[in-house]
Amino acid sequence: MPRAGRWIEAINSDAYQGWPNPAVAGNGGEVWAWGEGLHGVPASATLTIPANAVLVLIADGKDFN
C-alpha cells in the first residue's frame, strides 16, 4: 500500500454480480494498512479479493504513522 492508514472499499464488483448476490465476498467496506511494506512500498494490508471481481480502494486522508 502506498501509505499506512484506513482505505475505503469504494467499489466491489462482486456486490453487483447477479445482484443481489447473497454471498458477497469483500472487506466489509474498509481495509487498514500498517507496518512494514513489501517490495519497496511503505505499508501492507490483508485483502479479500473476490473471484472475478474488481476492488477500488481510496485513502480516507488520515494517516496513523
Sequence ranges of the domains in the chain: 5-59
Q: Provide the pLDDT for residue 63.
A: 55
CA separation for the pair 20, 18 (Å, rounded) = 6
Best CA proximity match to 56, nearest among 22, 23, 31, 38 = 31
Q: Provide the pLDDT for residue 43.
A: 94
Q: Provide the pLDDT for residue 37.
A: 86
- 11-53 pLDDT tens trace: 888 876 556 666 778 888 899 998 888 888 999 999 998 887 8
Q: Provide the pLDDT for residue 35.
A: 85
For 18, 46, 52, the CA distances from 59, given in Å and listed in that order, are: 28, 15, 23
Q: Provide the pLDDT for residue 58.
A: 94
Q: Provide the pLDDT for residue 20.
A: 63
CATH 2.60.40.1180 holds for 5-59: yes
